[in-house]
Structure 1
């Protein structure tokens, strides 16, 4: 009987510990707070390795403002190593915690290359004025909505991707690598010279003033606004996939 009692006591203690941990992990994320992280002045690229809502802000300093539940702040790991900014997290029990998505306001002197590995929502507070905007989506879904004033815009996505990429503003040149089932909405981006590699079942919209080069390798269509003086089309499909739309 004594052994049984000790065993029961052991079970009660273990159950209490597990319950307490689960209760804290599953049901008590805490109040929403914002934490500021100072970053190195030189950043060549950004690695997004966790699900985030990211707002890009062009600034005179590099810093990150992380907004999420206070009990999750320690799980958000943001650091610079070898001039690469890493955005990571180690949040547990995320499947059952009732909390708002982690929001990141990323203040940067220059907008470096963005490498996206996890589903993310990326937007810009104001117009981003820089030499180049370059985003590579290695994952399956990213929702992008940015306004640019750049010399060059380049977006490349995974063959498994099904994200939506909205770009507005103006750019001297633009290159879009459309793959998987991604949709590109760049009709709000006024481009002088644009190159589209269409290998998606989703459609692509562009606005071109001077030269448009299109290679079509999948069923997705390419719609274009503007009246470019030069159009080069490489179409691997028998039917017409390049469609001109009148300006409103």
Structure 2
């Protein structure tokens, strides 16, 4: 986990202006604050955080981190969407990423617009869940326990990372780009569709049907006994050479 923290910080520094770096200021004394929020079912992440999501009857954010980061932390909670960010960019003194504990009664969508670590405490459940990694997401790491009828994961651009999913979802859809590695061999599904345009690998569990379209060289490793359909699409000079292989 320490390695991913340093990588997240490196990406942030590369994308931040040096004019915002004050060599005399660190992240400050560690503090913790509870923020109550309005009801939301969508989370948009616009700052580097280490986040734990808990599904219960409340809607709140518990912040733990340096007071100088807290001063530049902000969120909005409008139209069922919680948007979280901070403008702190002086990571030269203190490499500790601020921690957030987010509570909500229902979650339908998570959108990453920057690097983040994300995990669940307990299981997230509902009808549908969608996760989006935008082109600006850079490096994302997540470890989620899920119970949904339909689960979708969509990565764009050069975003990359290790993504672990566990639980039960009847239907799952993955759109993979760049070097995202999927570890969903403990996420039991009945039907799955994968559009694979990445270099990373996907480890999955599917029982009934698996449909994979390859655009690049990343592989799919499966467990279960599904009916498998494979398509290959040539894009530019890429080789759609990925394979579907039993684990």
TM category (shorter chain) comes to 0.7 to 0.9
Query: Using the alignment, how far apart are the partners of 1:244 and 1:101 within structure 2?
Result: 38
Pair 1:238–1:116, CA change in 2 (3 A): closer
Match of 2:192 among 180, 191, 194: 194
**Alignment partner, residue 116 of structure 2:** 120
CA RMSD of aligned residues (A): 1.8
Question: Does the 8 Å CA contact 1:69/1:99 hold for their aligned counterparts?
Answer: no
TM-score, length of structure 2 as denominator length:
0.84
Partner-residue secondary structure (3-state), 1:30: coil
Superposed, which structure 2 residues align to 1:71-220 within 5 Å?
Answer: 71-92=68-89, 94-138=90-134, 139-220=137-218
Query: Using the alignment, how far apart are the partners of 1:75 and 1:39 within structure 2?
Result: 18
Q: What's the CA shift for 1:79?
A: 2.0
Partner-residue secondary structure (3-state), 2:25: helix
Q: What's the CA shift for 1:203?
A: 0.7
Query: Using the alignment, how far apart are the partners of 1:66 and 1:132 within structure 2?
Result: 27
**Alignment partner, residue 52 of structure 1:** 49
Question: Does the 8 Å CA contact 2:216/2:240 hold for their aligned counterparts?
Answer: no
Query: Using the alignment, how far apart are the partners of 1:136 and 1:142 within structure 2?
Result: 11
Query: Using the alignment, how far apart are the partners of 1:197 and 1:239 within structure 2?
Result: 13
The CA deviation string for residues 90-147 of structure 1, in whole angstroms up to 9 with x for no partner, is 214x232315211110101101311101000000011112222211011222101101
Structure 2 unmatched runs, 5+: 1-20, 234-238
Question: Does the 8 Å CA contact 2:214/2:242 hold for their aligned counterparts?
Answer: no
Structure 1 unmatched runs, 5+: 1-20
Q: Which has the higher Rg, Structure 1 or Structure 2?
A: 1
Partner-residue secondary structure (3-state), 2:200: coil
Partner-residue secondary structure (3-state), 2:167: strand
Partner-residue secondary structure (3-state), 1:73: helix
Tell me, yes or no, if structure 1 residue 63 matches structure 2 residue 60: yes
Query: Using the alignment, how far apart are the partners of 2:241 and 2:151 within structure 1?
Result: 29
Partner-residue secondary structure (3-state), 1:26: coil
* Residue correspondences, number: 220
